[in-house]
Amino acid sequence: MLLPMSPTDSMFLTIEARQRPMHVAGLHLYQPPPDAPDSYVHDLFDQMIAVEDVAPLFRRRPARSITTAGQWGWEDDGQFDIEHHVRHNALPNPGRILELLALCSRLHGSLLDRHRPLWEAHVIEGLDDGRFAIYFKIHHALVDGISAERLLRSLLSTDPDERDVPPPWASRPPKSRPVAEFTGEPRPRSLFEIPVSAARSALGIVADAAGIPTALARTVNRGIRDQSAPVSFSAPRTMFNVPITGSRRFAGQSWPIGRIRRVGKTTGATLNDVVLAMCSGALRGYLQDLRALPDTSLIAMVPVALRVRDRQREGGNSVGAVMCNLGTQLADPAERLKTVHRSMTDGKAALATMSPLQILAMSALGTSPLLLQSLPGLHSFTRPPFNLIISNVPGPRTPLYLNGARLDGMYPLSIPFDGQALNITCTSYNTELAFGLTGCRRTVPHLQRLLGHIEDSLAGLEAAAGIT
């Protein structure tokens, strides 16, 4: 019997293609406990595949039939094989982070098998420094990126002495975890994670919602005047805004949050402003190296959480998208940060005047051109709505452990789209901020070099702020 699938979730299956895998993923790096035996990682893998009672979410596979008129639904996999989904990998010599990122790049570029539940977990050993990693990917039709990271995080404990923590796919008593995390019940999604489905929702409400025509006129006017708004008309064509292949390249690195906060405190900018300015300087340097830097500024789509002032409205927060002017045409790091800060401040102020419904509609309209860019041939006739997506997601603030192994780093892997060949997602953990760069391998060359430009960009911001 097929369980119904929401239109939003089925869209991720419908738009998926070989060049556009629609799964999200996370990479965790672990330091084994001091007393770990040589068999520690193998024992951990054995524990993970020993789960007999698998949660319903992780047994569901997509299906459709005549009875559903060809619409997607979920059915239980009667031939579920845990060893297909949980795998043990070893890195080739010399076992550097470079080899780990190359493996994750290959894993991230392969489609999940639709005849089975749409997830995989890879336990990876062989790093030359004695650490091991877990790469976990799951289809966006099952969960969004934030929920996927929470699932992976459910492996962890704040207690370094705790052992035998069940993996995310193990069934739990109803009271042990929020139901939505393990049963596939409706869950909140961020606009950043689902620009395409948000656009689809907007198409159904834009004609009837009161106040949206006025908000649309105001938003378009701001976009035409090159001001920050949910809609942009000033994004230049870049090497990122072209059709992509299914090949992926992933690069990740962490920076101390303290360094980033000091720049913000000294300059009066927010932490997110500094992160965007770091990306701006890095993109400028990277594109200059490739002789591909446009004369006008790159535009980034940035998700923002907005507190709703009107107490009559439902909920306390709204999520919208701001098109941020990155100031990549500016050589001065201080001027780039000022441009980013001004752009984000103006954009959030513009969204704050809208209702939650207006925010959704306007932000979705700003991202809807992605639908057109995915159609064959249309990318050359349509201007990119923005040049890339940059997201900053808060993570755990305290050290976490997996069966005594200390979590050293957590890195998000996201979804590039046709016309959006590079995605930058950041997440914080303990005292570090991790940058995860996911790109089309054939479209975005030498992606690893972008990490070096991020460090150079942060150092330039520190120098401009007088921080030694």
pLDDT at 287: 98
pLDDT at 206: 42
pLDDT at 379: 54
Distance CA 134, CA 109 (A): 17
pLDDT tens digits in sequence order for the chain, 468 residues long: 788 888 878 888 988 999 999 999 999 999 999 999 999 999 999 999 999 999 999 999 999 887 777 889 999 999 999 999 999 999 999 999 999 999 999 999 999 999 999 999 999 999 999 999 999 999 999 987 677 777 878 889 999 999 988 999 999 776 543 333 333 333 334 433 434 444 444 444 443 444 545 544 454 455 545 545 445 567 999 999 999 999 999 999 999 999 999 999 999 999 999 999 999 999 999 999 999 999 999 999 998 765 544 434 333 334 678 889 999 999 999 999 999 999 999 888 877 777 666 666 666 655 655 655 555 555 555 678 899 999 998 899 999 999 999 999 999 999 998 889 999 999 999 999 999 999 999 999 999 999 999 999 999 999 999 998
Distance CA 427, CA 254 (A): 9
Q: Strands 132-139 and 119-125, how do they pair?
A: antiparallel
For the chain, give every domain's residue range. 3-183, 195-398+411-464
Q: Catalytic residue positions?
A: 140
- Which DSSP string corresponds to 257-314? HHHHHHHHHHHT--HHHHHHHHHHHHHHHHHHHTT---SS--EEEEEEEEE---TTSS
3-183 and 195-398+411-464: identical CATH topology: yes
Other beta carbons within 10 Å of 347:
23
Helix and strand numbers (H, E) in the chain are 14, 15
Pick the CATH number of 195-398+411-464 from 3.40.630.10, 3.30.559.30, 3.40.50.1400, 3.90.420.10: 3.30.559.30
Q: Which CATH superfamily is domain 3-183 in?
A: Chloramphenicol acetyltransferase-like domain (3.30.559.10)
Indicate the SS3 state at residue 366. helix
Q: What count of Cα atoms within 13 Å lies in the side-chain half-sphere of residue 326?
A: 30
Nearest to 24 by CA among 442, 425, 421, 374: 425
Exposed/middle/buried for residue 166 (C-beta within 10 Å: 0-12, 13-18, 19+): middle
Specify whether the CB–CB gap between 390 and 424 falls below 8 A: yes
